[in-house]
Amino acid sequence: MDLAELGTVVDQYHYARAERLAADKEAAKLKTTEEALKQQIITECKSNGLTAVGGDIALVKYTVKDKPIATDWPDVHQYMREHDAMDLMQKRLHEGACKLRWEDNIVIPGVGHLEVDALSIGAAPK
């Protein structure tokens, strides 16, 4: 592929990205509407003691689920150490925290660097 063809691909990339960003913006608006309607249904189900409600095309069932939340991290960490319960945590690094340490030249044992290809896009020079 010559540079002129690659330039055409760059422009196509720009338009595809712009179209996707516009769609993301519209999707965010739709999600806001969806969440507001969801909360309205939950509020009405709670206040009326309903476990299900339906319209002409859809039926929703209202349930309450238990979700774990840490209320005392030192206690959680102690439990994990005492019971070898590392499965309670998700295995992923906080990229921002790692990068801040790297900027201060701090080496974190067991953490490597993975090169990830990226593009930034801006206006073409005139």
Residue that has been written with the tokens 């209320």 in this structure? 71
What is the mean pLDDT of the segment spanning 96-125? Answer: 91
For residue 59, list its beta bridge partners.
54
With a cut of 90, say whether residue 14 has pLDDT above it: yes
Distance CA 107, CA 92 (A): 17
Specify if 117 maps to a domain.
no
With a cut of 80, say whether residue 31 has pLDDT above it: yes
Specify if 111 maps to a domain.
no
Specify if 116 maps to a domain.
no
How much of the chain, in percent, has pLDDT values that exceed 90?
A: 90
pLDDT at 69: 94
How much of the chain, in percent, has pLDDT values that exceed 70?
A: 100
Q: What pTM was computed for the model?
A: 0.71
Count of structural domains within the chain: 1
Q: With contact defined as beta carbons under 8 Å apart, do 52 and 59 qualify?
A: yes
